[in-house]
Amino acid sequence: MKKNLSIWIKETSYRLGFDYCGIAKAHKLDDDARRLEQWLQKGMHGKMQYMENYFDLRVDPNLLVPGAKSVITLLMNYYPSKQQRQGAPKIARYAFGNDYHEVIREKLKEFLNDMREKVGEINGRGFVDSAPVLERAWAKESGLGWIGKNGNLLNKQMGSFFFIATLIIDAELEYDDAYVKDYCGSCTRCIDSCPTEAILPGKVVDGSKCISYYTIELKDTLLPDDMKQKFGDWMFGCDVCQEVCPWNRFSKPNNNIKFTPIPELLNFTTGQWEELTEDAFKTVFKNSPLKRTKYSGIKRNLNFIKKEGF
HEC letters along the chain:
CHHHHHHHHHHHHHHCCCCEEEEEECCCCHHHHHHHHHHHHCCCCCCCHHHHCCHHHHHCHHHCCCCCCEEEEEEEECCCCCCCCCCCCEECHHHCCCCHHHHHHHHHHHHHHHHHHHHCCCCEEEECCCCCCCHHHHHHHCCCCEECCCCCEEECCCECCEEEEEEEECCCCCCCCCCCCCCCCCCCHHHHHCCCCCEECCCEECHHHCHHHHHHHCCCCCCCHHHCCCCCCEEECCCHHHHCCHHHHHCCCCCCHHHCCCHHHHHCCHHHHHHCCHHHHHHHCCCCHHHHCHHHHHHHHHHHHHHCCC
pLDDT over threshold 70, residue 2: yes
129 counts as catalytic: yes
Of 149, 124, 174, the residue nearest 10 (C-alpha): 174
Residue pair 241/194 in contact (Cβ under 8 Å)? The answer is: yes
Q: Which of 114, 129, 170, 233 is catalytic?
A: 129
Average pLDDT over residues 149-175: 97
Predicted pLDDT of residue 307: 55
Hey, CA dihedral for 211, 102, 55, 116, is it positive or negative? negative
pLDDT band at 310 (very low <50, low <70, confident <90, very high): low
Per residue in 194-227, pLDDT (tens digit) is: 999 999 999 999 999 999 999 999 999 999 999 9
Per residue in 139-148, pLDDT (tens digit) is: 999 999 999 9
pLDDT over threshold 60, residue 125: yes
| Max Cα–Cα distance, the chain, nearest Å | 62
Average pLDDT over residues 127-147: 92
pLDDT over threshold 90, residue 132: no
Report CA-CA distances (Å) from 152 to 76, 114, 141, 276, 291: 14, 30, 14, 33, 24
pLDDT over threshold 70, residue 104: yes
Residue pair 129/135 in contact (Cβ under 8 Å)? The answer is: yes
Residue pair 207/284 in contact (Cβ under 8 Å)? The answer is: no
pLDDT over threshold 90, residue 1: no
Predicted pLDDT of residue 169: 97
pLDDT over threshold 80, residue 309: no
